[in-house]
């Protein structure tokens, strides 16, 4: 059923990806109303500061030519390993089938990488049993660790941070190489602030602040893949939920950023310089509309104790 919001993966050159989202109705009356700011990783600020050095892109490269496409974002967390979203793994597998090389690209512009390191493999987090009705229909827990052919030499690995429920309401930095403006341009590293908004609850109820009429207005007028039908609208509203304490709604409030297509695997960050940059989770979902692309907020798999242990064990 859920092809409506899907992941924040980029539109790969060699694979079609269905990417959609939602927008808030114009008559909503919330102080921090989503969708009112043009700033986002979509239309955000170029992340050229050295502190973002560990944030890179997952790309397809062609021998003798270089990067031909960007399909996800990732963060260096060891000299020879990156953390990203689990659903980026099939794109790594696809590269070999197409005669390409999946690689990790460092630098502000993935198409002119300062360092390009081939990926040799990856390990994905196991799915959660009984959560097949959540945001991801395969059991969620969308995180993976990918291994590099050699150590990165131009960036300091980011630290791994435990995301605690007491962090709800705090601001983080969201970063990635996805779509950065309404023209659909991607492949450059962008970043900006985003609030950690919720660790549990129904996805659309959270996005629309419980305003079912605003949700229906979007569903029947601006939802890219709605049938539309009253039955499906009701099903979406009640069925899609954050996996409690694993999945976080972040960003998308007034004057904040929000992840967009291509930011999958991009980090939820804190830190003022490269030496203390810390990643607390990875982007896996975005929500927008036909008219405004990504404008309501994004889903992040957070490093609670279990997911942090998975990443550390993988390293």
Q: How confident is the model at residue 134, as a pLDDT? A: 65
Rounded CA separation 3/64 (Å): 36
For the domain made up of 45-314, give the CATH fold.
Thrombin, subunit H (2.40.10)
pLDDT tens by residue, the chain, 315 residues:
233 344 444 433 323 222 222 222 222 222 333 333 333 465 578 999 999 999 999 999 998 889 999 999 999 999 999 999 999 999 999 998 999 999 999 999 999 999 999 999 999 999 887 666 567 666 789 999 999 999 999 999 999 999 999 999 999 999 999 988 767 789 999 999 999 999 999 999 999 999 999 999 999 998 877 888 999 999 999 989 999 999 999 998 888 988 998 999 999 999 999 999 999 999 999 887 877 778 778 999 999 999 999 999 999
Cβ within 8 Å of residue 84, ≥6 positions away: 58, 72, 73, 74, 75, 122, 143, 144, 145, 146, 264, 265, 282
Q: Where are the domains of the chain?
A: 45-314
Q: How confident is the model at residue 27, as a pLDDT? A: 26
Whole-prediction pTM value?
0.86
């Amino acid at each position: 059923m859920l092809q409506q919001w899907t992941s924040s993966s980029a539109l790969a050159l060699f694979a079609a990806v269905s990417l959609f989202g939602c927008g808030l109705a114009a008559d909503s009356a919330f102080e921090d109303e989503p969708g009112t700011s043009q700033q986002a990783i979509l239309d955000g600020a170029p992340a050229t500061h050295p502190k973002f050095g560990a944030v890179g892109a997952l790309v397809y490269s062609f021998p003798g030519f270089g990067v031909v496409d960007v399909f996800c974002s990732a963060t260096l967390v060891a000299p020879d390993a990156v953390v990203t979203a689990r659903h980026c793994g099939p794109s790594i597998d696809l590269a070999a089938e197409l005669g390409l090389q999946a690689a990790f690209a460092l630098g502000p512009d993935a198409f002119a990488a300062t360092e390009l390191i081939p990926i040799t493999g990856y390990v994905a987090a196991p799915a959660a049993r009984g959560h097949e009705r959540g945001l991801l229909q395969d059991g969620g827990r969308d995180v993976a660790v990918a291994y590099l052919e050699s150590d990165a030499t131009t960036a300091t690995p980011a630290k791994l941070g435990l995301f605690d429920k007491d962090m709800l309401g705090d601001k983080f930095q969201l970063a990635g190489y996805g779509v950065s403006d309404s023209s659909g341009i991607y492949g450059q590293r962008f970043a900006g602030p985003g609030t950690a908004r919720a660790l549990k609850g129904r996805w659309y109820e959270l996005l629309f602040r419980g305003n079912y009429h605003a949700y229906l207005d979007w569903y029947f007028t601006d939802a890219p893949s709605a049938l539309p039908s009253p039955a499906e609208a009701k099903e979406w509203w009640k069925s899609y939920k954050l996996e409690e304490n694993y999945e976080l709604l972040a960003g998308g409030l007034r004057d904040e950023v929000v992840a967009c297509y291509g930011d999958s695997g991009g980090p939820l960050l804190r830190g003022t310089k490269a030496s203390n940059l810390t990643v607390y989770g990875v982007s896996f979902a975005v929500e927008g509309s036909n008219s405004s692309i990504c404008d309501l907020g994004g889903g992040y798999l957070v490093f609670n104790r279990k997911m942090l242990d998975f990443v550390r064990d993988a390293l």
